[in-house]
């Protein structure tokens, strides 16, 4: 069966429903494989560590600011 990636299906002629479904599933499989390769890269895997580091830094900065800047009171 010939595959044409990112092709529009011509609807003038009666389309082969099982063939169209199979082609779409194969395209989805190709996209998932590409995503899996991307998700395995070191930069992506380091995101949770980086976010935790940013969160810890922000908490420390907020504590330091809270000591030096009094909170506003309601009038």
In a domain, 53, yes or no: yes
In a domain, 4, yes or no: no
Burial category of 27 from C-beta neighbours within 10 Å (exposed 0-12, middle 13-18, buried 19 and up): middle
In a domain, 34, yes or no: yes
Domain that holds residue 41: 17-68
- DSSP assignment of 29-65: HHHHHHHHHHHTSHHHHTHHHHHHHHHHHHHHHHHHH
**What is the pLDDT at residue 61?**
87
**CA of 55: how far to CAs of 30, 42, 45, 47, 51, in Å?**
36, 20, 17, 12, 6
- Kindly report, residue by residue over 40-53, the tens digit of the pLDDT: 788 878 889 999 99
Least confident of 25-34, 38-47, 56-65: 38-47
In a domain, 8, yes or no: no
Task: Report how many domains make up the chain.
Answer: 1
pLDDT > 90 in the chain, percent: 13
**What is the pLDDT at residue 22?**
79
In a domain, 35, yes or no: yes
Higher-confidence position of 29 and 9 = 29
Mean pLDDT of the chain: 77
**3-state class (DSSP) for residue 22:** helix
């Amino acid at each position: 069966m010939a595959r044409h990636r990112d092709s529009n299906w011509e609807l003038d002629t009666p389309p082969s429903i099982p063939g169209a479904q199979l082609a779409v599933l194969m395209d989805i499989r190709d996209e998932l494989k590409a995503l899996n390769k991307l998700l395995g890269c070191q930069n992506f895997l380091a995101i949770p560590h980086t976010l935790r580091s940013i969160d810890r830094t922000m908490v420390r900065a907020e504590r330091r600011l809270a000591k030096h800047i009094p909170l506003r009171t309601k009038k």
